[in-house]
Structure formats: C-alpha cells, structure tokens
Structure 1
Amino acid sequence: MTDPPAVRFVNAPDLPATPGYSHAAEVRGGRTVYLSGQIAVNARGEVVGEGDFTAQARQVFENLRAALAAVDLTFDAVVKLTFFLTDFAHLPQMRSVRDEFVNTARPPASSAVQVAALVRPELLIEVEAVAAAP
C-alpha cells in the first residue's frame, strides 16, 4: 500500500452539511488514476446478487478494490466516487456498503445519478472512481 499524496477534503461552510461525502477533494502533487465504472459481475463475468442491491453493491466495491490493487492503491487513495443507481430508494443501502470500504472520517467527494438502465438489465448499481497516488 502506498500513501496518497497530500489530499485535502473540504466541506464548504456556505453549503449544507453532507451525509458521508466531501464537497471537494484537492489533490496536491502525485498522479491521478481514473477507474472505469464497475458493475456487479465476478471474475467469470457472471452477475452477482441479481435482485439484491446490497449484494450487488458489495461486489461493485470488491471490483473497485481489485482495480485499485492493480495500480498498487487502496480505497485510502480514492478522492471521488460517482454512483449510478437505477432507483434512488437504494441510497441508504449504497451508503452503508460504501462506508464499509472508504475512510468515513475523510470521505471522498461523491455524486449520485439515477439512471433508467445500466449495461445489463439485471444490474442495479455502477460505480466509478478517481484516485490520487504519490
């Protein structure tokens, strides 16, 4: 594991308080790594947790962990997450699973978007990430 570069997570005083994410993540130095959106498929390409949002979210985060490891990083280096959900009713479950993986004391900047569909009809969530490395 490598330490992330100097990253300052900021919540602007003129904006409302945030539930588990930062308004901004400022990266000072280092390299930036962009992770493609991850979906709930295992190494064999099989959908995990069909119909089960929490199981799909955990698989997505495990896939993100694997992508980060491939570039010698961990979730500590993640500065931005973008969530694509087929139903915002799943936001509480998404936040709960996210909190199992990210540093909740320094949560990454985040966005959530509700979409009509994802690349496969049985998928409920996709997550992409940006990480900062020294």
Structure 2
Amino acid sequence: MPIQYIPTIEGLSKFGDYSPVAVADNIVAIAGQFGTDGEDPESQIRGAFKNLKTALAAADLGFEDIIKFTTFVVGRETIPHFMKLRKEIFAEIYPNGIYPPNTLLIVAGLVHEEFVFEVEAIAQKKN
C-alpha cells in the first residue's frame, strides 16, 4: 500500500514544506504540533495538544490510537509547565491512567523563536 500524505488540514498552521500527517498501512505519523494561540508556555502546551487532536482526526484517529509521543521543550524552565499540564491533559484523554511512551527532549529552539513546546506522535490505525 502506498503512503498517503495529508498535506493540509483545516485549522492547522504549517511552518514549511511538509505534510502534517502520513499514513503507511496502519501506522500514522503526526508532525510536530505547536500551540499558536498563546505566548505563555501553558497556552502553547494546551494549544499543541488541541492541534494534535485535529491532526489525528484528519486520519480518523483519536488520542487512544497513539502509540508514542515525542515532546520538545525549549529550556529546562519549560519542563514544570509541561509536567503540570500533561497530568491534567492526560487525565482527560487517558482516564484509565495508562499513558503511551513519551520521549522528552530539551532543545535550544523551535521553528519560530516564540515557540517553547512541540509534540509529535506515532499512532496506529485499526483495520
């Protein structure tokens, strides 16, 4: 089966030449998502997960289909904001308390200087 790329998704901003979602058989890759509606870390984190939900929906998926997250934070000072909000957000989207694996990377910067958080995901499409 050829790879299906979803090059644009209504409601999502793009920051370069790439597709936000790719589907290969039953594996779905979601490009890193930012929260573009706020300047403070907490608004950006909430917005990034909102945008991730939008990207998942474009492939007819939800958070329950995610098999792995990769998160990027700018500077150690962003980690406490992420940890606090992840507890809140994950309690909502994973009420059973079992969460997918997550790799957390501390980076010097993201595509735009004002961004301090990005999240990408790998998901599984059920046949």
Q: Same fold (TM over 0.5)?
A: yes
Structure 1 position 119 matched with structure 2 position 111: yes
Aligned pair count?
98
Alignment correspondent of 2:60: 72
More helix by share: 2
Alignment correspondent of 1:109: 101
> The residue matched to 1:120 in structure 2 has which SS?
coil
Residue of 19, 29, 32 corresponding to 1:34: 29
CA contact (8 A) 1:61 1:98 kept: no
Alpha-carbon displacement from aligned partner over 1:46-100 (angstroms, at most 9, x marks no partner)? xx211x1010000000000000011111101111111111022322321332331
- 1:49 alignment partner AA: G
Q: TM-score, normalised by structure 1?
A: 0.67
Cα distance in structure 1, aligned partners of 2:84 and 2:124: 23
- 1:112 alignment partner AA: L
What percentage of residue pairs aligned between the two structures are identical?
Answer: 36
Alpha-carbon displacement from aligned partner over 1:1-51 (angstroms, at most 9, x marks no partner)? xxxxxxxxxxxxxxxxxxxxxxxxxxxxx711100001122xxxxxx211x
> The residue matched to 1:66 in structure 2 has which SS?
helix
Q: Which runs of 5+ in 1 are unaligned?
A: 1-29, 42-47
Residue of 120, 123, 126 corresponding to 1:131: 123
Runs of 4+ with >6 A deviation: none
Q: Which runs of 5+ in 2 are unaligned?
A: 1-24
RMSD: 1.6
1:118 positional shift: 0.5
Cα distance in structure 2, aligned partners of 1:88 and 1:33: 30
> The residue matched to 2:112 in structure 1 has which SS?
coil
Q: TM-score, normalised by structure 2?
A: 0.71
